[in-house]
Structures are given as C-alpha cells and as structure tokens.
Amino acid sequence: MDGHDADNTKQSTADMTAFVQNLLQQMLQFLNCVLLDEMGNRIDELEQSINDLRAEMGQEGSPSPSAPLKTREEPKSAEDS
C-alpha cells in the first residue's frame, strides 16, 4: 500500500465520521422535537382531566390548588383597639 492509498483511506474515514456525526445530530434533534411534542400533549391531557374532575366535583369556579389562598382578615374586637 502506497502513501496515496493511505491518504484516501484517511479521507474516507474522516468523511464517514463526519457523515455519521451529522446523522446522529439530526436524529437527536428530531427525537427532542418528538419528545417535547409528546410531553406537551400529555400536559394538555392532564389539564383536561383535572378540569373534568373539578367539574364533576362542582368546583369548576374554585381556585386551582397551586394558587395561593388569600386569608380573610378577622374583624377587630373592642379589646384589640
């Protein structure tokens, strides 16, 4: 094997490595998009299920559990003044 064949082999290997890396990168980007879409769909389904359950319980207008509850101020008695 002469030097010319060795150079071609090295170039072919470098080209193949670059091709495989590019292909893997594209596949990962595609999978990330698919996974994000799937997560979004599942979140939407979960929100709908929560809304359905709240409607069944007759609490459709109540605040969500994650919303902070406001405390009512107690009227001051004559002793507090």
Is the separation of the CB atoms in 60 and 54 below 8 Å? Answer: yes
Q: Is the pTM of this model over 0.85?
A: no
Is the separation of the CB atoms in 13 and 19 below 8 Å? Answer: no
Is the separation of the CB atoms in 54 and 62 below 8 Å? Answer: yes
pLDDT digits (tens, 9 = 90+) for 46-80: 999 999 999 999 875 555 556 555 555 555 655 55
User: What per-residue confidence (pLDDT) applies to 72?
Assistant: 55
| Domain locations along the chain | 29-55
pLDDT digits (tens, 9 = 90+) for 4-32: 788 888 889 999 999 999 999 999 999 99
